[in-house]
Amino acid sequence: MDPVALDRLGSLAQPTRLAALRHLLAAHPGCLPAGELARACDTPHNTMSTHLGVLIRAGLAHVERAGRTMNYRADVKAYRSLVTFLAHDCCNGRPDLCGDITRLIPKDDDQTERFMTPAFNVLFLCTRNSARSIIAEALLERIGKGRFNAWSAGSEPADAPMPEVMDRLTQLGHDVSRLRSKSWNEFTGPSAPRMDFVIALCDSPQGQVCPDLGEKYVNAAWPLPDPADFKGSPAERVTLLNELYAMVRRRLEIFTSLPFASLDRLALKKRLDEIGDTVRTAP
pLDDT at 211: 58
d(CA 238, CA 131): 13
More confident residue, 63 or 237: 237
Beta bridge partners of 218: 197
More confident residue, 65 or 20: 20
Neighbours of 206 (CB within 10 A): 7
d(CA 8, CA 11): 5
Q: Is residue 160 within 8 Å of 270, Cβ to Cβ?
A: no
Please write the tens of the pLDDT for every residue from 233-247.
Answer: 988 999 999 999 999
Which residues does 216 contact at the CB level (< 8 Å), separation at least 6?
194, 196
60-69, 70-79, 232-241, 256-265: which has the minimum mean pLDDT? Answer: 60-69
d(CA 158, CA 205): 18
Please write the tens of the pLDDT for every residue from 134-158.
Answer: 999 999 999 987 789 899 999 899 9
pLDDT at 49: 86
Q: Is residue 219 within 8 Å of 210, Cβ to Cβ?
A: yes
More confident residue, 81 or 255: 255
Q: What is the distance, to the nearest Å, from the Cα of residue 198 to the centroid of all Cα atoms in its chain?
A: 12
Mean pLDDT for 167-188 is 91
pLDDT at 20: 94
**DSSP state at residue 96:** H
Mean pLDDT for 22-28 is 88
d(CA 247, CA 183): 24
Mean pLDDT for 15-23 is 94
pLDDT at 277: 82
Q: What is the dihedral of CA 266, 268, 274, 275, to 10 degrees?
A: -160
Taking each helix axis from N to C end, the angle separating 163-171 and 132-143, rounded to the nearest 10 degrees, works out to: 20
Mean pLDDT for 191-204 is 82
More confident residue, 190 or 179: 179
Number of H helices, E strands in the chain: 10, 7
Domains observed in the chain: 1-111 (1.10.10.10), 120-278 (3.40.50.2300)
**DSSP state at residue 65:** E
C-alpha to C-alpha distances, 2 to 9, 11, 50, 113, 115, nearest whole angstrom: 11, 14, 25, 13, 9
Q: Where are the beta strands (DSSP E) in the chain?
A: 32-33, 61-66, 69-74, 120-126, 148-154, 197-200, 218-221
pLDDT mean across residues, the chain: 81
Judged against a pLDDT cut of 60, whether residue 113 lies above it is answered with no
pLDDT at 272: 92
> Which one, of 126, 119, 143, lies nearest residue 198 by Cα?
126
